[in-house]
Amino acid sequence: MNRQIESIGNSGLHYFGSMSASIAHEIKNALAITNENAGLMEDLSLMVIKSGQPLDPERIARLSRKVMDQIKRADNIVKKMSLFAHSVDEPVKEISLNEILELTLDLGRRSALSYGVTLAPVECERALSIQTNPFLLMNLLWLVIKSACTRVNSNKKIEVLVSKEDKRVNLCIINLLPCQQGEEKKREIITLANFLDAEVDMNNKERIVIALNENKA
């Protein structure tokens, strides 16, 4: 029991740290672009003072729009960061599976890109909700998706298909190649899945399936 809790704790901390670093990196990029565009506006203004040549107002308008775009980008990132931070508020909660899945993929997109992999947006016919630990579910989803990134097929695009079967919700990660999963990572995933009363099938050659109970008390 202690080993299980230690494994889940370590996994959670690692996930939280990894996503926090990724978020920080994204915000830094938005700040860097804002810095350069604001700096360019300053450079152009100084050139006008020096040379007396008129400033192109359309150019300034374009640069201003770029600054506003990056502010919007950073704001979106911070909103997601806040949702992520609040995922630890309650140990069990009824949540929208669609939203949790989308948030997990959004947070992980840049990490996936470092593997040369894109994560397709979630397509789900209907809204699905489950009762579970939101943060640990995101952790499990990310562990599985990250594992999938190391075995994606030539498509280089991971898709998650969502379906419902009685009281179970299945998440099917497709476009994979057959690959032997490392034992340590497999144990980490299974430990987390067991805690969440979920099942993860990693034995299929071209897909990984996560089966979730609709109601985890």
Residue 163 interacting with another protein (CB under 8 A) = no
Which listed range, 20-28, 138-146, 165-173, 190-198, lies at the site for another protein (CB under 8 A)?
Answer: 20-28
Range 101-130, binding another protein (CB under 8 A): 113-114, 116
The conformational region for residue 20 under phi > 0 = left, psi -120 to 50 = alpha, else beta, is: alpha
Residue 190 interacting with another protein (CB under 8 A) = no
Nearer to another protein, 25 or 167 (CB): 25
Residue 157 interacting with another protein (CB under 8 A) = no
Residue 20 interacting with another protein (CB under 8 A) = no
Residue 25 interacting with another protein (CB under 8 A) = yes
Q: How far is the CB of 149 from another protein (least distance, A)?
A: 12
Q: How far is the CB of 36 from another protein (least distance, A)?
A: 4
Residue 43 interacting with another protein (CB under 8 A) = yes
Residue of 34, 104, 133, 175 interacting with another protein (CB under 8 A): 34
Q: What are phi and psi of 87, to 5 degrees?
A: -70, -15
Residue of 70, 87, 147, 175 interacting with another protein (CB under 8 A): 70
Residue of 21, 55, 68, 71 interacting with another protein (CB under 8 A): 21
Q: What are phi and psi of 25, to 5 degrees?
A: -60, -45
Report which residue type is found at 41: M
List interacting residues with another protein (CB under 8 A). Answer: 21, 24-26, 28-29, 31-37, 39-40, 43, 47, 66, 70, 113-114, 116
